Amino acid sequence: MDTAGSSESPIEPKKRNSKTPKKAKESVLKQKSPAEFFAENKNIAGFDNPGKSLYTTVRELVENCLDSAESISELPIIEVTIEEIGKIKFNSMIGLVDRERVDEALYDDFESVKAREKRLAKETRNQEIQAKNASLGKKTKEPSALKGIKGRGEASFFRVTCKDNGKGMAHDDIPNMFGRVLSGTKYGLKQTRGKFGLGAKMALIWSKMSTGLPIEISSSMKGQKYTTFCRLDIDIHRNIPHIHLHEKRDNKEQWHGAEIQVVIEGNWTTYRSKILHYMRQMAVITPYAQFLFRFVSDAVDKNVTIRFARRTDVMPPIPVETKYHPSAVDLLLIKRLIAETSKQNLLQFLQHEFINIGKSYAQRLIEEMGPDFSPKTAVKSLTSQQICLSPAGEYNLRLGIVKELHPDMVATYSGSAQVFEGHPFIVEAGVSLGGKDVKQGLNIFRFANRIPLLFEQGADVVTRTALKRINQGECFLVVSLTVSQCCEQTKKKRRDLAYNINLFQTSIQQCCVQLKSKIVKKIQAREQQERKRNLSKYIPDVTNAIHGILSDTAQQHAKKRRYVGEEAEVLKKVSAKVLTKEMLREELAKHVEQVDYEMALDYAMQSGVSEEPREAIYIQALEGGHNFTDLHSSVCVLRLFPTRLRVDSLFFLWSPLSKISLIL
């Protein structure tokens, strides 16, 4: 930035202007492009440092992929590859693109940073060798230098590639979709993961700032004969795409979707666990998607390949674009709607531009119009709105949890649609106990609109509610919030709303209620196993105590006869060591054995009768052959696909009375 690149130079004085009002002369009215704004305030979008940027880039790309696939009701197949690029390779890459003269400034900037790094590294080394009292001029510089080294020292370069089987993009739209900040297809009142048309562009801005390499996109839409290949970067100052290459290529494989490749600076070592955690969370909330995550580097032992397999082909319905709910309307919005509407009169306007307002209702509203208008009446008739939401669904949530967390127990709950500030939302919760790789204590996965919530963990409403409710064990809590309009900021805001707390509370409570009965059963089963051990455990304590009292009494009895008859007889035996501890112990053990046997019989009889609640099972269909075999029995029909379905991997347990419906 501090070099005299032609495009970047205007930024600097402007920045100084805003910060130092002393130079009043230069305060000319200037406009800033959105791209510039976001380039300067990267942290808004989660690009605070290289590590976080890598993380956010992966997130943004993956979420775009999911949105894209879901928008055409395709089961998402997503491949994410992070490839580490060594210094030498990277340098050669820069050499390769050297012909793209436009970015010269940025490369220079990068080089200079590198040079500075080297220089400062040298300085610190020198400083270590030398005594602490170096020259004063150096001393003022060094703290920042050290910091710089620490922050950038571990940073390296990565090529992030993300491929999906989604909708793809139209050939002509691609440059604008990537090269223009705040342009997008997801504006409007429709539930999508992305909202502002910022994610992919921010990745591009970051790549331009950190490496200067352009983004590469290849995409094809369903039924298109060609794929579009586009290499572009962004003119930050003017917020327009700068196209390097934009061409049509053959689409031999009938592929549709998009593949995006971007080279950025990042930090794998510190963000490794976060990225993997994110992928895992994604797999929980979207069990109908297939993820392939790879990390490739020169060091083979560091490579990671994880496949999150698909477990179901039931997808949440496509969210429908909705109109505004009357209670969400503010002055600005209504003015805009009035300007845009094609309707002739007020009646039609009300009827068509808002959700939940029928003709008669609109008429009544108009009659009532004026200060007496009460928004309350409108909020009441609200539930029919849920169609515009596409929550993960209880089934998918459950499946995701079972698939990824392998819990011992799981319970899920899905609330009914509610409204907040005019935006409909649904709360779904799942609680699971035990499982693989579970940290001790409470683990909370939070989702909003089916993407993991990452920031402010611990201070949000879910965590706070959960901590109040659940107190122990290795436990996973998955909460998914689905809202029609929602961004990171609003999510944060939501945490203080008492109303929401109640909703979260009820859903978590519902889960816990479900779990309770399961836990009771499990405890019974465990007691069953441990009963004998527990019962036998205290035999020595008890018999020692009893024998102790008896022998004490016997001693006293010897001095002063206090007992006659049966009791005296017992005491006599004790003093004569005919009645010993061991004898008592044996008798008691015998009794315990007998009781244990009886109880085991009891338990076996009881548990034989009980029946688990039934659930529909959806099994992913393999490619359709139609010659299947039906196995008929009196309770169900088992339809076997001879080609691919491996029956040996599926097993069902059922009591003779239960029914299984297989939907294949």
Partner 1 sequence: MEDKKKKRPRISDDEETQSIIPFKKRLKPDPEILSILKTLSQSLQSTSTSKPLTLSDLGLSSTCREVTDLDLSSVQQEIEKIVFQITKQILSGSGFSFEVPTRGSANQLYVPELDRIVLKSKNSTRPYANVSTVRKTAVTTRILQLVHQLCTKSIHVTKRDLFYTDVKLFQDQSQSDAVLDDVSCMLGCTRSSLNVIASEKGVVVGRLIFSDNGDIIDCTKMGMGGKAIPPNIDRVGDMQSDALFILLVEKDAAYMRLAEDRFYNRFPCIIITAKGQPDVATRLFLRKMKLELKLPVLALVDSDPYGLKILSVYGCGSKNMSYDSGNLTTPDIKWLGVRPSDLNKYKIPEQCRLPMSEQDIKTGKDMLEEDFVKKNPGWVEELSLMVKTKQKAEIQALSTFGFQYLSEVYLPLKLQQQDWL
Which residues of the shown chain bind partner 1 in the complex (CB under 8 A)? 527, 531, 534-535, 537-538, 541-542, 545-546, 548-550, 552-553, 556, 566-567, 570, 579, 583-584, 587-588, 590-592, 595
The phi, psi pair for 472, rounded to 5°, reads -155, 175
237 contacts 11 by C-beta, under 8 angstroms: yes
Query: At closest approach, how far in Å is the CB of 526 from partner 1?
Result: 11
Query: At closest approach, how far in Å is the CB of 513 from partner 1?
Result: 22
159 contacts 263 by C-beta, under 8 angstroms: yes
Residue 251 or 536: the one with the smaller Cβ distance to partner 1 is 536
Residue 448 or 579: the one with the smaller Cβ distance to partner 1 is 579
Residue 289 or 554: the one with the smaller Cβ distance to partner 1 is 554
Residue 555 or 655: the one with the smaller Cβ distance to partner 1 is 555
285 contacts 450 by C-beta, under 8 angstroms: yes
Residue 419 or 568: the one with the smaller Cβ distance to partner 1 is 568
∠ CA 560-564-565, rounded to 5°: 155
Residue 380 or 560: the one with the smaller Cβ distance to partner 1 is 560
Reference 483, options 513, 446, 445, 534; nearest CA is: 446
Query: At closest approach, how far in Å is the CB of 25 from partner 1?
Result: 55
Query: At closest approach, how far in Å is the CB of 44 from partner 1?
Result: 39
- Within 10 A of 386 (CB to CB), how many other CB atoms are there? 16
Pair type for strands 423-433 and 475-483: antiparallel
Question: SS3 for 594?
Answer: helix
| Tokens standing for residue 533 | 């051990």
Residue 298 or 593: the one with the smaller Cβ distance to partner 1 is 593
Query: At closest approach, how far in Å is the CB of 509 from partner 1?
Result: 18
Residue 126 or 529: the one with the smaller Cβ distance to partner 1 is 529
Residue 201 labeled ligand binder = yes
414 contacts 386 by C-beta, under 8 angstroms: no
Residue 194 labeled ligand binder = yes
Residue 1 or 568: the one with the smaller Cβ distance to partner 1 is 568
Residue 179 labeled ligand binder = no
195 contacts 487 by C-beta, under 8 angstroms: yes
Residue 190 labeled ligand binder = no
Q: Scan for tokens 């961004």, then name that residue.
A: 487
| Tokens standing for residue 490 | 């609003």
Residue 556 or 643: the one with the smaller Cβ distance to partner 1 is 556
Query: At closest approach, how far in Å is the CB of 178 from partner 1?
Result: 54
Query: At closest approach, how far in Å is the CB of 545 from partner 1?
Result: 4
Query: At closest approach, how far in Å is the CB of 552 from partner 1?
Result: 6
- Within 10 A of 450 (CB to CB), how many other CB atoms are there? 25
Residue 198 labeled ligand binder = yes
Beta strands in 39-137 (DSSP E): 77-85
In 97-198, which residue ranges form alpha helices assigned H by DSSP?
A: 104-129, 136-153, 174-179
Residue 199 labeled ligand binder = yes
Beta strands in 34-120 (DSSP E): 77-85
Query: At closest approach, how far in Å is the CB of 603 from partner 1?
Result: 11
Beta strands in 415-488 (DSSP E): 418-420, 423-433, 442-448, 451-452, 475-483
Question: SS3 for 513?
Answer: helix
Residue 307 or 590: the one with the smaller Cβ distance to partner 1 is 590
Query: At closest approach, how far in Å is the CB of 217 from partner 1?
Result: 57
Residue 22 or 533: the one with the smaller Cβ distance to partner 1 is 533
The phi, psi pair for 333, rounded to 5°, reads -65, -45
Contacts of 28 (CB under 8 A, 6+ apart): none
| Tokens standing for residue 114 | 């590198």
Rounded CA-CA distance 229/18 in Å is 41
Residue 186 labeled ligand binder = yes
Local structure of residue 368 (DSSP, 8 states): H
| Tokens standing for residue 131 | 């005594």
Residue 497 or 595: the one with the smaller Cβ distance to partner 1 is 595
**Element housing 157 (H / E):** strand 156-163
Question: SS3 for 231?
Answer: strand
Query: At closest approach, how far in Å is the CB of 485 from partner 1?
Result: 34
Residue 173 or 530: the one with the smaller Cβ distance to partner 1 is 530
DSSP string, 263-330: EEEE-HHHHHHHHHHHHHHHHHH-TTSEEEEEEE-SSGGG-EEEEE-------PPPPPP--B-GGG--
Query: At closest approach, how far in Å is the CB of 35 from partner 1?
Result: 52
220 contacts 226 by C-beta, under 8 angstroms: yes
DSSP string, 172-213: TTHHHHHHSTT--S--SSS--S--SS-HHHHHHHHHHHHT-P
Pair type for strands 156-163 and 77-85: antiparallel
Query: At closest approach, how far in Å is the CB of 331 from partner 1?
Result: 39
Residue 185 labeled ligand binder = yes
Pair type for strands 451-452 and 617-618: unpaired
Residue 64 labeled ligand binder = yes
382 contacts 417 by C-beta, under 8 angstroms: yes
Query: At closest approach, how far in Å is the CB of 125 from partner 1?
Result: 58
Residue 415 labeled ligand binder = no
Reference 568, options 580, 578, 558; nearest CA is: 558
The end-to-end CA distance of the chain, in Å, is: 59
Annotated binding site: 64, 164, 185-186, 194-201
Annotated binding site for ATP: 64, 164, 185-186, 194-201
